[in-house]
Amino acid sequence: MEVKVLKKEGSELIIEVLGEDHTLGNLIAKEALLDPRVEYSSYRIPHPLQDRMEITLVAKQGEDPLKILVDVIDRLVEEIKVFKSLIEEKV
């Protein structure tokens, strides 16, 4: 996996993630939409034959989109840890 910042201007952030697809893109974009600091969030696969995905996040005025993205990822990591614990209890 490799990450590149394609654009960071004001409240807009676009990152490119190499080696990832819809699974990670959908997870991050949907979780970001639950954050009240987010105006818009989406992901796209620019071309089906290329192994890359782009995430776009637009923050509300005065908010840092990069900070929000890190917070979103931290929340997802915590949710996955809880899910893992629940699964381990059943095994």
Q: What is the CATH number of the domain that holds 28?
A: 3.30.1360.10
List the domain range (segments joined by +) for residue 66: 2-90
**Looking at residue 91, what is its pLDDT?**
85
Dihedral of CA 13/10/78/35: which sign?
Answer: negative
Q: Give me the residues of the chain with pLDDT under 70, please.
A: none
Does the global pTM surpass 0.95? no
- Do residues 42 and 29 touch, judged by C-beta distance below 8 A? yes
Q: How many domains does the chain have?
A: 1
